[in-house]
Amino acid sequence: TAATLTGKDLAAAIRAETAARAAEGPRPRLAVVVATADEASLWYVRSIAKAATGAGIACDLVDLGPEAAPAHVGETLERLSGDPSVHGVLLQTPLPAGASAQELAGAIDPAKDVDGANPLSLGRLAAGLPAFAPATAAAVMALLDHHGVELAGRRAVVVGRSTVVGKPLAHLLLDRDATVTVCHSRTRDLASVTSQADVLVAAAGRAGLIGAAHVAPGAVVIDVGTNPTPDGGLTGDVDAGAVRDVAGGLSPVPGGVGPVTTALLLRHTLEAARRA
């Protein structure tokens, strides 16, 4: 049965290292812009604020409310980008109807773009230039490295092509010399592609999408999906009960990519503050 590729110990180590470096001062500051009433999103933002405080990073929640006009969101991002006391700026989704997260994130100074949301950051990442990667994509790489998963020359398959996870992750895997395939909702015969993977990353947001038939024996499977369950919990994109019998390693949900994502957001904020 598959090894459990937990992210909790790695996340704790990143938070501790970040806290130690933040304590050397000056205190890093992260601003999180929120314009939603979505409970899951607000829960996530509160968990970031709590983790930030624990790591000695100030966290301002800038709540514009679910009715905020897109222009107001953009102006707020510009103001925070120009504020020298703020080192990291995060734009939380979902946004009010009519607002495009990718258009608005263009207002975040790339030097403060700790979640790699500005299209400039993705472009720089694709070009192999220094940039903040989206924290979730960076977290997948950190989790693979932490568990000693070899990437060079191996086949990596990413399920999902979003700007926040699938696309940046494909570039990060390419930079590590993996042979990368990206699948999406229009991919035909998903299992025939994913079952070729040495390293399979599921980031589709579909509970149970990846079953035993999608996974090669011994493959490493990273589950990025966070799907709410009826009982108020979380479940991934991988049918863990079935895949565990086939895979060599599987990251759990919760307790895999998620905690590492939050820890890396804090580390990115520290790095942005150090460079400022």
Residue list, annotated binding site for NADP(+): 160-162, 226
Amino acid at the residue 134: P
Residue 183: Cβ within 10 Å count: 24
* Phi, psi dihedral angles at 200 (to 5 degrees): -115, 125
Stretch that binds ligand NAD, among 15-23, 120-128, 157-165, 264-272 (CB under 6 A): 157-165
Residue 204: Cβ within 10 Å count: 23
State the alpha helices, DSSP H only, in the chain.
8-22, 39-54, 70-81, 101-105, 119-126, 135-146, 166-175, 190-194, 240-243, 257-275
Between 8 and 72, name the residue whose CB sits nearer to ligand NAD.
8
In angstroms, what is the minimal distance from the CB of 79 to ligand NAD? 26
- Structure tokens of 84? 């020298």
Choose which of 2, 193, 224, 272 interacts with ligand NAD (CB under 6 A): 224
Question: For residues 241-259, b (16+ Cβ closer than 10 Å) or e, as one string?
Answer: ebbbebbbbbbbbebbbbb
11 part of the interface to ligand NAD, by CB under 6 A: no
159 part of the interface to ligand NAD, by CB under 6 A: yes
In angstroms, what is the minimal distance from the CB of 253 to ligand NAD? 8
Residue 85: Cβ within 10 Å count: 12
Contact characters 234-263, ligand NAD, x per CB under 6 A: -----------------------xx--x--
Choose which of 162, 179, 208, 271 interacts with ligand NAD (CB under 6 A): 162
Q: Which residues bind ligand NAD (CB under 6 A)?
A: 136, 159-162, 164-166, 183-185, 187, 190, 203-206, 209, 224-227, 257-258, 261
